[in-house]
Amino acid sequence: MSVAWATLRRSWLVTKRAYPWSYFIGTLLLGVFTIGLAYLGLRAVAGGGISAEFRGKAGTGDYLGYIAVGAGAYMFVVHGILWTGKAMIQEQREGTMGALLVAPARRLPYLLGFSAFAFTAVAVEVAVLFAWAASTRSDSRMPYARGST
Partner 1 sequence: MGGLDPLRQPHAVRKRINLIAGGERMVYARMTGRENLWYFGQLYDIPTKVLKPRIEELLALVGLTNAAATRVEQYSRGMTQRLSIARGLINDPDYLLLDEPTLGLDAPIARDLRRVVAGLAERGKGVLLTSHYLAEVEQLCEHVYVIGDGRHLAAGSPAELMAQTGCHRTVRVTVTNLSPQIEAAVRAFDSRVRLAPGGVIELNHPDDLTGALTTAIIEAGGALGGLEIVEPSLEDAILALSDRSLKVVA
Q: Which residues bind partner 1 (CB under 8 A)?
A: 2-3, 5-7, 9-10, 13-14, 17-18, 94-96, 98-100, 102-106, 110
In the complex, what is the shortest distance from the CB of residue 24 to partner 1, in angstroms, rounded to a whole number?
16
In the complex, what is the shortest distance from the CB of residue 55 to partner 1, in angstroms, rounded to a whole number?
50
Q: Toward partner 1, which CB reaches closer, 7 or 84? A: 7
User: How many residues are recorded in the chain?
Assistant: 149
Q: Toward partner 1, which CB reaches closer, 47 or 95? A: 95
Q: Toward partner 1, which CB reaches closer, 4 or 133? A: 4
Residue 75 contacts residue 123 (beta carbons within 8 Å):
no
Phi-psi region of 47 (alpha: psi -120 to 50; beta: other; left: phi over 0): left
Q: Toward partner 1, which CB reaches closer, 9 or 43? A: 9
- Residue 32: helix, strand or coil by DSSP? helix
Residue 145 contacts residue 55 (beta carbons within 8 Å):
yes
In the complex, what is the shortest distance from the CB of residue 101 to partner 1, in angstroms, rounded to a whole number?
9
Residue 133 contacts residue 42 (beta carbons within 8 Å):
no
